[in-house]
Structure formats: structure tokens, C-alpha cells
Amino acid sequence: MANPEYQETLDHFDILSVILYRIGITLVALSFSSLGYSYFSTVYQIAWPVLSLHTNQIVLAVSATLCAANIHVYSKVVRVIISWSTWIGLVCLVIDANQYVWLSFGFFAITASGIALKESFCFRVFGLKAMPLLLILVVLALHQSWLSVAGFCLLFSALIYLRLAIAKWRMPLHFDIGIKANYEI
């Protein structure tokens, strides 16, 4: 958690990693909303989805990868769990996106949940601490083919992540880095 009284000197790599992390959070919000809308449009035949289901999965994979590759967490163990779950989700997505969509989403959900819990220490965004439960419901709903439940939970998660993204873009860049000496390498 960042200390507002302390301002770390950021190099170009630090600035780039913070910006990519924030872009990843923003893309997670957009991909959750697009996926949720896709599931609703599939079930209720509302209208054609904006993006295909496969494209939505790729956007989610890219956004989770941006977050996982640029996350700033002091604890090495927590950083590894959040990051490696995305890499495993990418492998599941590449192996068979149609058969194991719930499994790959489950690993991306670990990353999104870890980020939400990490950010809940800094922000009082409504719903951040409930994000793991919402995303577990999405994984269960996808496994059971309850697309309307998955769509609802994804749209609600998108709103929470959008509020987080707005809060992140408003704060100074050095808040994401914190104190460099505290990182476990």
C-alpha cells in the first residue's frame, strides 16, 4: 500500500509498467462488460454481440496479461500467484478455447480477484472485496452453461472494475509503485 508522504523516484520502466497496469485494469472492465453482454445476447437474442465470444476471450486474456505482467505487489508469493494464474489461463485458452472456456476464465478470475483484493486496501470502491465471489459465480455459471447468470455477474463486475479504473487513473503514478526497497525479489 502506498504511503502518500513518500514519493519514490520513478524511471521510464516504472512509468511504463504503471501505465500498462492501469490500461489492463481498464481493459478488464471493458472485456467483462462485453463478455456479459455477449452472454445476454446469446440467451435472450437481444441483438448481435459487439464482439464475438472468441474475440472477447482474447481481449480478456490480453487485459489480464497486462495486469499480471505489471502488477506491483511487495510479496513475492502473492505476485507469483496472481501472475502465474494468468499464464495458466492463457495455456488453457490456447489448448481449447471452446471446451475449457470456464477453466481459462477461472484462471483469469484469480488474477482479477487478486488485483481487486490488492486494490481494496487502497480504495473504498464498493464491491471490490466481493469480486472473488462474483467471479467464482461466473466460473460456476460457465461450467453449468447458465449464461444469463454469468452475464449478470460479469456486468456487475465490469461496473466495479470501471470504478476502480477511474480511481486508479486519478491518482499519481508513484502511488502504484510504493517503496521500491520493500519489494521481495
Does some domain include residue 3? no
Distances (CA, A) of 7 to 14, 18, 20, 171, 174: 13, 14, 20, 13, 6
Query: How many domains, the chain?
Result: 1
Nearest to 34 by CA among 146, 155, 163: 155
- 31 CB contacts (<8 Å, ≥6 apart)? 56, 59, 60, 63
Does some domain include residue 7? no
Nearest to 8 by CA among 182, 168, 167: 182
Q: Which domain holds residue 168?
A: 12-182
Q: pTM, whole model, 2 decimals?
A: 0.90
pLDDT value, residue 122:
81
The parts of the chain modelled with pLDDT lower than 70 are 1-6, 48-50, 97
Does some domain include residue 6? no
147-159: pLDDT as tens digits? 999 999 999 999 9
